[in-house]
């Protein structure tokens, strides 16, 4: 991931500035919108990465798309364009949201399941993740049919794999050793 270090630096700087201006939450909402928009739009992503498209065109497009954002976002776009780093805007936005959540004491938990979680099960997973971390937890559900059943819970650097595919692999290894 090129520019990951730079993205962290820009994100920290924007978070510091937004915190000083007491607009960190509004900027976080805008950053989530930016990350989501860029990830869903291949055209926008390609335009940002293209060396053929001039910086002024990239700036104009970004200001048109995200023009209703906070002044910190406008300043960030201007700065990234000036420093020829506009291609990492989505990375900066994602890192900002991570840093903001950390500052608020919120941990992100990722649950991979074979089918989407229903509300009751999601509530149970949230309660367990909160019990394990001692922090508020935001849950992200990823559906991956290849795990067959069960779930994989990842909170920070800790992963608990209770998938059927994992259990089948363990059995396969056990039988192959004998």
CB 38 within 8 A of CB 93: yes
**pLDDT digit string (tens) for 19-55?**
999 999 999 999 999 999 999 999 999 999 999 999 9
**Pairwise CA distance, residues 37 & 31, whole Å:** 10
Confidence at residue 136, expressed as pLDDT on a 0 to 100 scale:
86
State pLDDT tens for residues 55-66.
999 999 999 999
N residues, the chain? 178
Name residue 139's beta-bridge partners: 109
Q: Which of 93, 75, 78, 101 is nearest to 7 (CA)?
A: 93
Report the alpha-carbon distance of residue 77 to residue 10 in Å, rounded: 11
pLDDT tens-digit readout, 79-104: 999 999 999 999 999 999 999 998 99
What is the rounded CA–CA span in Å between residue 58 and residue 87? 9
Alpha helices per DSSP H over 21-163: 24-40, 42-49, 55-65, 71-82, 89-103, 119-133
Q: What's the pTM value of the predicted model, to 2 decimals?
A: 0.75
Strand pairing category for 151-155 and 158-161: antiparallel
Would strands 136-143 and 106-113 be described as parallel, antiparallel, or unpaired? parallel
Q: Could you give all domains of the chain from N- to C-terminal order, each with its CATH number?
A: 4-102 (1.10.520.20), 106-177 (no CATH)
List residues bridging with 137 in a β-sheet.
107
pLDDT of residue 1 exceeding 70, the answer is no
pLDDT of 2: 64
């Amino acid at each position: 991931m090129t520019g990951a270090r730079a993205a962290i630096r820009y994100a920290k700087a924007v978070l510091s500035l937004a915190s000083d201006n007491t607009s960190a939450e509004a900027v976080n909402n805008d950053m989530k919108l930016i990350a989501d928009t860029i990830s869903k739009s291949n055209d926008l992503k390609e335009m940002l990465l293209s060396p053929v498209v001039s910086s002024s065109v990239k700036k104009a497009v970004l200001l048109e798309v995200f023009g209703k954002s906070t002044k910190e976002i406008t300043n960030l776009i201007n700065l990234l364009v000036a420093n020829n780093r506009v291609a990492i805007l989505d990375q900066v936005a994602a890192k900002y949201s991570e840093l903001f959540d950390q500052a608020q004491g919120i941990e992100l938990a990722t649950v991979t399941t074979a089918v989407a979680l229903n509300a009751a099960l999601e509530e149970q997973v949230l309660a367990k993740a909160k019990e394990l971390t001692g922090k508020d937890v935001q849950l992200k559900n990823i559906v991956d049919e290849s795990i067959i059943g069960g779930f994989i819970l990842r909170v920070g650097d800790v992963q608990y794999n209770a998938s059927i595919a994992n259990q089948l692999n363990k059995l396969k290894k056990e039988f192959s050793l004998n």
